Structure 1
Amino acid sequence: MNPPQIANGHTKQLHDQLPPHRTAVISNSDPASCVREAERILGYSFLKPKLLEQALTHSSFSNGTTSYERLEFVGDAALNLAMTNYLYLSHPDLGPGHISTLRSANVSTEKLARVAVRHGIYPLVLRNSPKLDKQVEEFTKAVVQEPEEDQIYGGSTKKAPKVLADVVESIAAAIYEDSSFNLDVMWKIVRRLLEPLITADTFGEQPVTTLYELCQKSGKDVKFHIWQKGKTTTVNVFVDSELVGYGSSKQKTIARLNAARDALEKLNGEKSNLLIKSQRKEVGDEEEAKQKLNEFCMKRHWPPPVYKLEEEKGPAHSRTFICSVHVETTNDTFIALSECRSRVKDAEKSAALKMLSIVVKEVICVV
């Protein structure tokens, strides 16, 4: 894919495919080599290469070049604004709360750090910090082991060294300034690095979100119990008071992700036996069917069931009735007919029982 034509700068052909988590061996004492390689990765040739050199200079490196702190500060703001613009224009139906959530997910420290790893940016950073090198090396090894889908959201195995995200933000600021503060130019370049972006359609793929949605559809209650022991956070996931997932990490958010994934694996692996068992509990018998159906609909914010007398049979002294019940879900409308009953109320209960069987099964199938 050819990069866009950029004003106020010269584009380069992006390399065909960067190996994931590449570890280019470049002497970080040679600023010119680092700048050239960074331009190749970005597909952008700087009018002012010194800006890119500054963006790649850590405070531990002494070569007379100002470190990236000022650029990182501007890049953080510019990235947030560019991402906000993109989400606002591409998701016209989203409210400010959802836009804020998606923006945060796309420019979080955890996600930006993985962008730096994926594109081999850290080897280009001018630095003199063995401790930092060790942290990044350990983090990179952990990222390689992460499930691919988790990397989109920031992974789940190890907290990212902030330097990785800072460098991505400083590079964004360098492009922003080099292009005469053209936000569109900066966004076109940086967006390629950020892909795949988290969108409203894919956000639900995150383990914690998926678990909540899965259980919400079947009216189940999800609780995360979190406690600290030393430097380790442990998280248990309970679904309707039953333990279904466990995770631990030195980072609370990572422990939570691990626990959610564990719960999903167990629920899916057992074909959601916990939820299927609940079907029998939800349906019950005719006597409580109307009440249970009302509660079932309320939990999902569906309109209340609508009952209708469909048919009367027989003479007055032995008349029977058939009733229907209509339930409107988020995406469909279901209708169930009762068995013949001697009273209208009993016919409604019969219809409600049949409807419960339909909607509970439908929810579990959707899950």
Structure 2
Amino acid sequence: MARAPGLSVRLKLTLSYAGFLLLAGVLLLVAAWLFLDRAPHVGLILVPNYRLAVARAFAPTAAAALAFLLVFGLLGGWLLAGRMLAPLTRITDATRTASDGSLSHRIQLPGRGDEFRELADAFDTMLARLEAHVAEQRRFAANASHELRTPLAVSKTLLELARTDPDQDTGTIIERLHTVNTRAIDTTEALLVLSRANQGTFTREPVDLSLLAEEATETLLPLAERHGVTIETSGELTPALGSQTLLLQLTTNLVQNAIVHNLTEGGTVRVHTAVRPRSVLLTVENTGDPLTPQQVSTLTEPFQRGTERLHTGHAGVGLGLAIVKTITGAHDGTLTLTPRTGGGLNVTVELPAPHSK
């Protein structure tokens, strides 16, 4: 926003200090003059032509005093304003540095807490979050580019093979192209869901998480049967406020993730919903291989598939739990992942209850 040049804050404060000091001096001199002017009437001084004499003696002294106060106010005000505004200068320099693209700089203003230090600390916190967000977005963009480039490169190779070698089995090539294309579409759709949830542009409406859990488990029942996994659902009416489409996507991703990342035989998935005084819970628990807290902490990162736990042929696109995390955050909720004793994972989504909004 273009603005016309104006006086600096330091100069304004200096003029304010000097003006206030000059005004105080004027008032003090007026009070002294009134006192001296009343002196003959109360019998304090008996001098002929008293007023004229006082005026001749008082005027130069008053002028000199006012001049001294003006100079002293300007110099003192300039120094005091500079000292008081020094933290603001550091904040301004840090802002310019950040606007040039450097987010690693911090103000770290020393001293005890006051308004300037609170502002500096808030700015440092904002820079730290912004730096982490930008780093996450860059990492995500790089991973997404890699994930989308791979199927495109495979498709190009298959097409080149079909074009240069007419003796190749066309049916096999078409089947492989279909598989690769399906994977690319799944990745793209997952990225679109993730982007939509990040933007938060959705309508909030009453939703029952228990019904969404039932719908997700019914939809994924054939997948569970193919993997030999038993699904158990429980819970009561669990009202929430949010996007039914996104929350269904969240529930489906959790249940699908629990089915796929499970034991090869005799696995179990438990889906439970509950109501608390100020929140509602959706919990998905599954059996599986043992996990360390360090492994669990990375599972919500985009394209982290935990390949050591995956069954061959169902690698997914690595965005399932990343989408869950984003949708949960967009609904002002919290996502908690905990490794189960004996193997597997416990995932809890906690959303604000409708009446707590």
TM-score range, shorter chain: under 0.3
Q: Higher helix proportion, which one?
A: 2
TM-score (norm 2): 0.20
TM-score (norm 1): 0.20
Q: Specify the structure having the higher radius of gyration (Cα).
A: 2
